[in-house]
Amino acid sequence: MAKDIKPELRQRNATSSNNYSSSVTNDSKTNFNENKLAQVGKTWGRARDVSFADILPPFFIMLLCPYLVIYFWTSCTHYDCSITTPILLLSEKGFTIDTIADFIFENFPKPTVEGFLLYFGWLFFQGFLYSILPGKIGFGQTTPAGHTLPYIVNGTLAWIVTHGLFVALSLGLNLFPASIIHDNWGGLLIAANVQGYLLSFFSYWKAHFYPTFADDRKFSGSWIYDIFWGIEFNPRFGKYFDFKLFFNGRPGIVAWTLINFSFAAAQYNNIGYVTNSMILLNWLHFLYVIDFFINEDWYLRTIDIAHDHFGFYLSWGDCVWLPFMYTLQSHYLVRNPIDLSWEYFSLVFFIGHFGYYVFRATNWQKDVVRRTNGDCLIWGKKAKVIRTKFETSDGKIHESLLLLSGFWGVSRHFNYVGDLLISLAMCLTCGFAHLLPYFYVIYMTILLVARINRDHHRCLGKYGKYWEEYCRAVPYKLIPFVF
Ligand code: NDP
């Protein structure tokens, strides 16, 4: 069972110097309590009381998603990224236990010593960089229990060191081929899955017996739901080794561009040059990834860090789903090299950069309005805001604000529109011969629409009547007049 909160680990409002932390106004508490309309449960945050219907999706995702990743790997590695060919071939032989077993044995990736060494060597190297590289201290949002946590923001440096070393050791000193990731992709997939599952179960166990911030845990009463969505909010080793920031940023996002680079090298090995589609894809992914690290401080206040607990969704997702599914397009372009016409190239380049502009500008508006406490210009005019109050489970009342103008007045998640345009451009680099490279934009649409609903539930619980006021002022969730 859960242990009591360790007093030394309770860092309630430990960082009052934080620019981003909300100001606490105890004197306004009575007034606020009288006025608030919807505070879901004792604290807001992840759902706690879950029904059978809430448990089914996590159950099936944990059961099936690893096979989906393996199936996509198989279709790319053995069938030129055709999603249907493996199934059609199998159906010709008949779906018996023997034919399915033969198919798995012949096609699925196998564990390899190289795969395990590379994966765990990479993971420990990233852990080492995360722990020793210097960086400024950033702060997350105040949690439902009232903690405002510090983070070491050193991702850009880790990205530069990792990529610099990889290029120097492979292309410079020829210690290993630059295509090494591509060449060991199957073995790496198995090793990453092992790591993803181990981390999920470790996090579940740690949450029960050695929680970092016990008062920020959420138990749903269902172990399936808890393994998937996580119990601990901010599991850490020591003061700064934060699971969420590390696993999402390093084995996840640093790997993204490195994998692409290695796949571009594999394409070069195969056909003697790198296609312009592969270059454009590498560029768009690079833009997205480097933006993430340059704005890593901003990431501390996004839903991943500010709302999601650390379970299978983030741990397996960061270790397996992100590196293997987000890079499907570069795997595709190795198997199906495409030279784009310059007209098509320019169109995709434009869509990607326009999407990036919307994505960055929208996220920037939210960040700047919070940083300046609303004292800033948005689209040349003084920012319009709703001043809000919310309560944490320690009973303190905090103040925050919701931006009403700029992109946040167009729809409640216009940043997602930018993200979807970038995602579409990434997929369009692969032409139209197969569906598989479009998996990313389809998945992102599902992910972001689901996020909109989760975020609505969270913000309603956190801000109550203020959120309702925002929803009345900005009725559309994503695309004006559509949704
Ligand atoms: P947002 O950055 O939109 O954050 C939502 C939070 O912002 C809310 O919970 C609320 O939190 C605050 N907020 C909501 N409305 C307002 C407002 N009007 N004014 C000020 N604050 C407001 O969502 P995400 O964290 O999901 O996404 C961040 C970015 O990351 C997006 O651009 C998204 O596209 C991208 N992303 C990419 C993914 C990928 O896999 N590639 C996955 C998910 C996201 P509070 O008030 O508590 O601060």
pLDDT per position as a tens digit, 337-385? 999 999 999 999 999 999 999 999 999 999 999 999 999 999 999 999 9
Eight-state DSSP code of residue 179: T
Give pLDDT tens digits for 111-139.
999 999 999 999 999 999 999 999 999 99
Does 423 lie in the same domain as 298? no
Q: Probe ligand 1: pick from 415, 460, 478, max atoms within 8 Å of CB? A: 415
For ligand 1, say whether the CB of 402 is within 6 Å of any of its atoms: yes
Q: Is residue 122 part of a domain?
A: yes
For ligand 1, say whether the CB of 246 is within 6 Å of any of its atoms: no
Residue 382, strand partner residues: 377
Distances in whole angstroms, Cα of residue 436 to Cα of each of 89, 276, 332, 427? 18, 20, 8, 9
DSSP 326-345: TTHHHHHHHHS--PPPHHHH
Does 329 lie in the same domain as 411? no
Q: Is residue 414 part of a domain?
A: yes
For ligand 1, say whether the CB of 107 is within 6 Å of any of its atoms: no
| pTM of the predicted model as reported, rounded to 2 decimal places | 0.88
Cα–Cα distance measured from residue 184 to residue 195, given in angstroms and rounded to the nearest whole number? 16
What is the pLDDT confidence band of residue 50, given thresholds at 50, 70 and 90?
Answer: confident
**For the residues 295-309, what does the mean pLDDT come to?**
89
Q: Probe ligand 1: pick from 44, 287, 299, 303, max atoms within 8 Å of CB? A: 303
CB burial of 281-305 (b: ≥16 within 10 Å; e: otherwise) equals bbebbebbbbbbbebbbbbbbbebb
Does 393 lie in the same domain as 358? yes
What is the pLDDT confidence band of residue 42, given thresholds at 50, 70 and 90?
Answer: low
Does 344 lie in the same domain as 316? no
Q: Is residue 100 part of a domain?
A: no
For ligand 1, say whether the CB of 262 is within 6 Å of any of its atoms: no
What is the pLDDT confidence band of residue 8, given thresholds at 50, 70 and 90?
Answer: very low
Cα–Cα distance measured from residue 248 to residue 292, given in angstroms and rounded to the nearest whole number? 11
Residue 385, strand partner residues: 403
Q: Quick one: pLDDT at residue 2?
A: 33
For residue 299, how far is its CA from the centre of ligand 1 (angstroms)? 9
Specify the ligand 1 atom closest to the Cα of 400: 46
Does 59 lie in the same domain as 156? yes
Q: Where are the alpha helices (DSSP H) in 238-275?
A: 243-247, 255-271
Cα–Cα distance measured from residue 86 to residue 10, given in angstroms and rounded to the nearest whole number? 53
For ligand 1, say whether the CB of 195 is within 6 Å of any of its atoms: no
For residue 451, how far is its CA from the centre of ligand 1 (angstroms)? 9
- Least Cα distance to 427 among 445, 416, 439 occurs for 439
Cα–Cα distance measured from residue 455 to residue 461, given in angstroms and rounded to the nearest whole number? 10
What is the pLDDT confidence band of residue 9, given thresholds at 50, 70 and 90?
Answer: very low
Lowest mean pLDDT of 49-63, 184-198, 419-433, name the range: 49-63
Q: Quick one: pLDDT at residue 301?
A: 86
For ligand 1, say whether the CB of 450 is within 6 Å of any of its atoms: no
For residue 303, how far is its CA from the centre of ligand 1 (angstroms)? 6
Q: Which two tokens stand for residue 193?
A: 């899955």
pLDDT at 28 over 50: no
Q: Quick one: pLDDT at residue 15?
A: 32
Last residue of a domain, one of 291, 321, 337: 337
Specify the ligand 1 atom closest to the Cα of 370: 20
Give pLDDT tens digits for 161-178.
999 999 999 999 999 999
Q: How many CB atoms lie within 10 A of CB 241?
A: 15
Say what percent of the chain tops pLDDT 90.
80
Q: Quick one: pLDDT at residue 329?
A: 97
Q: Quick one: pLDDT at residue 306?
A: 87
- How many structural domains compose the chain? 2
Last residue of a domain, one of 289, 308, 337: 337
**For the residues 240-247, what does the mean pLDDT come to?**
96
Does 349 lie in the same domain as 280? no
pLDDT at 20 over 80: no
Does 358 lie in the same domain as 298? no
Cα–Cα distance measured from residue 198 to residue 296, given in angstroms and rounded to the nearest whole number? 27
Q: Is residue 106 part of a domain?
A: no
What is the pLDDT confidence band of residue 470, given thresholds at 50, 70 and 90?
Answer: very high
- Which domain, by its residues, includes 131? 7-65+113-337
For ligand 1, say whether the CB of 455 is within 6 Å of any of its atoms: yes
Distances in whole angstroms, Cα of residue 384 to Cα of each of 37, 301, 365? 22, 21, 11
For ligand 1, say whether the CB of 477 is within 6 Å of any of its atoms: no
Phi/psi of residue 457, each to 5°?
-60, -45
- pLDDT, mean over the chain: 89
Give pLDDT tens digits for 181-198.
999 999 999 999 999 999
Q: Quick one: pLDDT at residue 38?
A: 32
For ligand 1, say whether the CB of 182 is within 6 Å of any of its atoms: no
Does 333 lie in the same domain as 377? no
More confident residue, 18 or 396: 396
For ligand 1, say whether the CB of 154 is within 6 Å of any of its atoms: no
For ligand 1, say whether the CB of 474 is within 6 Å of any of its atoms: no
pLDDT at 36 over 90: no
For residue 404, how far is its CA from the centre of ligand 1 (angstroms)? 15
Does 352 lie in the same domain as 263? no
Distances in whole angstroms, Cα of residue 130 to Cα of each of 25, 228, 251, 256, 390? 36, 25, 11, 17, 33
Q: Is residue 104 part of a domain?
A: no
pLDDT at 30 over 70: no
Q: Is residue 103 part of a domain?
A: no
Q: Is residue 78 part of a domain?
A: no
Q: Quick one: pLDDT at residue 44?
A: 74
Does 311 lie in the same domain as 272? yes
Last residue of a domain, one of 303, 337, 371: 337
Does 330 lie in the same domain as 381? no
Asked if 282 contacts 264 with a C-beta cutoff of 8 angstroms, the reply is yes
What is the pLDDT confidence band of residue 394, given thresholds at 50, 70 and 90?
Answer: confident
**For the residues 234-249, what does the mean pLDDT come to?**
95
User: What element of type H or E holds 293?
Assistant: helix 276-294
For residue 302, how far is its CA from the centre of ligand 1 (angstroms)? 5
Does 344 lie in the same domain as 244? no
Q: Probe ligand 1: pick from 410, 416, 451, max atoms within 8 Å of CB? A: 416
For residue 122, how far is its CA from the centre of ligand 1 (angstroms)? 30
Q: Is residue 71 part of a domain?
A: no
